[in-house]
Structure 1
Amino acid sequence: MNPFPARHRAMLASGLIALLAACSPQDDMETDDRIAPPDEGALQAAARSVLENARNRNEIDGYALEIGTADDIYARISAGDVQSVDTQVAIASAGKPVSAAVLLNIIDEDRGSLRLNRLRLDEPIARWLDGTPAGNTAAAQEVTLRHLLNHTSGLEQQPDCVESELNGSTSLMACATEILEAGTRFTPGTRFAYGAGSYHVAGAVAEAYTGQSWQSLVDERIAAPLEVDLPYLPEDNPRIAGGILTSVADLGTFFRALLVRDDRLMGEADYSMLRTPQTDTNQGRLPNVTATGYSFGLWIEDPAELAEAGTAGPELSAPGLFGAVPWLDDDRGYYAVLLLRLSNYTTGLDLMRELRTEILARLP
């Protein structure tokens, strides 16, 4: 099953992108004056050359890019239809790591607590949906949060209520209930099937468990500590799998936090899980994706490909439908965030690989 059907792409493109600030594309390029690349600009210049070549080939109309390490930002640039490094762009599945981080933050906070019904990765979600129609479904009795976050739940990949959410006609819990009532298509935990349905249900579990809205959880647990803006659309039925609008600077701050294992977001054990394959993706991975593992919101790159590129990794990435690709590399100690406005993700992955080559060749 194609996880990105044509009608889904069309709805997201027309619904999400139409909500972005409208202004005419500009051909001038922007470099954030607050950033002084420690290598005197060689890496920034090489990265811009890769992206400008893609513009000249008419593959992209613009871009925003940030490259950094734990201590320095080597590049923060934009051009074309991404008017500035602060322009908010729809990033689709590139936002899944943020959603996973919210759940892991809640779980981490509860570790060691005396709460009897605390949130856990490996118990059926019916426990936290008790008293709701969703909790009474057969699927809720067998699906766990781990299944939801690593796409092995067996739930429908692209449910109609997730696609139709753009008109705000339902709620997160109502949509999650519909997904669970439809049942599982295979035994949870036995297959990898990438999509939006599982994350929608995970978001509903978080709301039911905490009594807070999804956006308030994101703001409180991720956005406020990092001083970034991560709004999810639409408001009533937020797209947990990919409804974020964000800038390259704000998403870069989040990925820097993942790189340095910022304890304001989650604990060391959670960061280790993010770097450990939770499922094999060789059966069911998307076209042009070479990752051989998936954790929670993050693809884990094939070690053989990384070795050929000149790094031991692990490399974690989250390509999104509209071309956004954030990634980080533990071995070389850097992160990068590429934002584009496209109708496909494969171009973003191709450019990410070109940029990876330039980055690995020029990092100190």
Structure 2
Amino acid sequence: MMIRCLFPALMGATALSLWPGTPTPARAQVALTPVEVQAGLDTLVHAGAAPGVILLVYRDERLLYRARAGDIDSDRPLPVASASKWMAAALLMMLVDDGLLSLDGPISEHLPELAGGADDITLRQLLSYTAGQGGLTEFADLRLSPDISLREAARQIAAQPRRDAPGSVFRYGGPSFQIAGALAETVTGRSWGDLFDERLARPLGLRQTTWGAVTRAGVRPGVPNPNLQAGLVTTADDYGRFLGLIANDGVMQGRRLLSSGAIAALTSAATLDTRMAFTPPGLGETPVQYALGAWCEAHDADGRCTTLSSPGARGAYPWIDRDTGLYGVFLMTSRLPRVQPHIQRTRDAVRACAGSREPELPTATPRSSADQADPPRGPAPCAPGRPS
């Protein structure tokens, strides 16, 4: 059973320069966007759900579609709100791969000052919002000063009364990612920003992706206490490259960055045995589970997620469809509940048009005289449309 969700579209055709030593991907020919997919984006804009939207769709590290509608600068980094969580969780799993952290050991082993208030909490619970610290509506992490350290943020969060016993209740959007970030900085001796640059941004070529604190004025960069569940600013192309790492079992351009075990943890339902106490609006009507840093929209009998996503409140919507091998991201500035129905329909169109066959590439070959003499009455299903 596939759950329907929406996501913002992606970026223009300008290639990004990468850091020295980062391989530059070849510019493969991109298929013309099917009329049904482009119509979904056009309708989103014409309905006033967002002023503009970008959509990128991939399979096997190959960009299939690059589409856009309305007024949007495809090269401008945008805040992606809760889509931040997926990248944060992936970085933490790299430290698990290194043996510096454990998914299921007590976090007080590395943060002894939390003993008593958080000694029985695990990293898995932190990344799946089952650590007992409350949910999004309490704004516990957003109330903290951006100028304190992540470790001090963790101490202040752990000092608050717990809402639930660890592992018993899922409450989306609580402050637990700040504690996870403090763990990362403690075991490595590096700042979160430096870790991200070294382990994810440089290897993947994420040239325009940064972290900051969420404020009323936007995302404030360069702070010691970045918001790890909502403080990412990025582009569609950067986020698409990150998705390729997850979709391709931790390997990007032949280089393994995450183990298969880490990918399995990131893409398995972690809340099957917990009570789902709070989920935000904009996820559609079908019940969902949560993995680590991403929603598990559908899963098999073993808890392996077949469809994952990490939508943000501002309209960003990355997703992976493991049944078809498709993955992609919508990027826009809006509110998730306003765009969700449009994203749902557009995602369904992507799956219908590219899920089981190769997209049609643009061609300069003229149609035969017979084709010209008897034109079709309308576009065939999934017919290629205009270039974006």
TM-score by length of 2: 0.75
Shift of 1:31: 4.7
Asked if 1:201 corresponds to 2:197, the answer is no
Shift in alpha-carbon separation, 1:121–1:71, aligned structure 2, 3 A? closer
Q: 2:111 aligns with which of 129, 135, 144?
A: 129
Shift of 1:170: 2.8
Asked if 1:349 corresponds to 2:328, the answer is no
Q: 2:291 aligns with which of 291, 295, 306?
A: 295
Which one-letter code corresponds to 2:266 in the other structure?
L
Higher helix share: 1
Asked if 1:176 corresponds to 2:168, the answer is no
Which one-letter code corresponds to 2:293 in the other structure?
G
**Within 1, Cα distance between the matches of 2:292 and 2:312?**
15
**Helix, strand or coil at the partner of 1:350:** helix
**Within 2, Cα distance between the matches of 1:354 and 1:37?**
26
Does the 8 A contact of 2:133 with 2:174 survive in 1?
Answer: no
Higher strand share: 2
Q: Report which structure shows greater RCO (CA 8 Å, sep ≥6).
A: 2
Does the 8 A contact of 1:319 with 1:348 survive in 2?
Answer: no
**Within 2, Cα distance between the matches of 1:31 and 1:316?**
25
Does the 8 A contact of 2:250 with 2:258 survive in 1?
Answer: yes
Shift of 1:171: 2.8
**Helix, strand or coil at the partner of 2:308:** strand
Does the 8 A contact of 2:41 with 2:69 survive in 1?
Answer: no
Does the 8 A contact of 2:11 with 2:56 survive in 1?
Answer: no
**Within 2, Cα distance between the matches of 1:189 and 1:78?**
41
**Within 2, Cα distance between the matches of 1:260 and 1:317?**
15
1:1-364, aligned counterparts within 5 Å? 31-32=12-13, 40-43=31-34, 45-84=35-74, 86-110=75-99, 118-130=100-112, 135-158=113-136, 162-164=141-143, 168-229=146-207, 230-234=209-213, 235-263=223-251, 264-280=256-272, 282-289=276-283, 290-302=286-298, 314-342=306-334, 344-363=335-354, 364=357
**Within 1, Cα distance between the matches of 2:233 and 2:109?**
32
**Within 1, Cα distance between the matches of 2:93 and 2:197?**
15
Which one-letter code corresponds to 1:178 in the other structure?
Q
Q: Structure 2: 5+ residue runs without aligned partners?
A: 1-9, 16-26, 214-222, 358-388
**Within 1, Cα distance between the matches of 2:36 and 2:115?**
54
Shift of 1:351: 2.7
Does the 8 A contact of 1:126 with 1:136 survive in 2?
Answer: yes
Q: Structure 1: 5+ residue runs without aligned partners?
A: 1-28, 111-117, 305-311
Shift of 1:49: 1.8
Shift of 1:98: 0.4
**Within 1, Cα distance between the matches of 2:321 and 2:191?**
33
Which one-letter code corresponds to 2:210 in the other structure?
P
Cα deviation per residue 1:249-301 (whole Å; 9 max; x = unaligned)?
00000001111113433100111122210113754322342352111011111
Does the 8 A contact of 2:298 with 2:305 survive in 1?
Answer: no
CA RMSD across the alignment: 2.4
How many pairs were matched up? Answer: 313
Shift in alpha-carbon separation, 1:239–1:32, aligned structure 2, 3 A? same
Cα deviation per residue 1:199-218 (whole Å; 9 max; x = unaligned)?
11111111111111001111
Shift of 1:222: 0.9
Shift of 1:33: 6.7
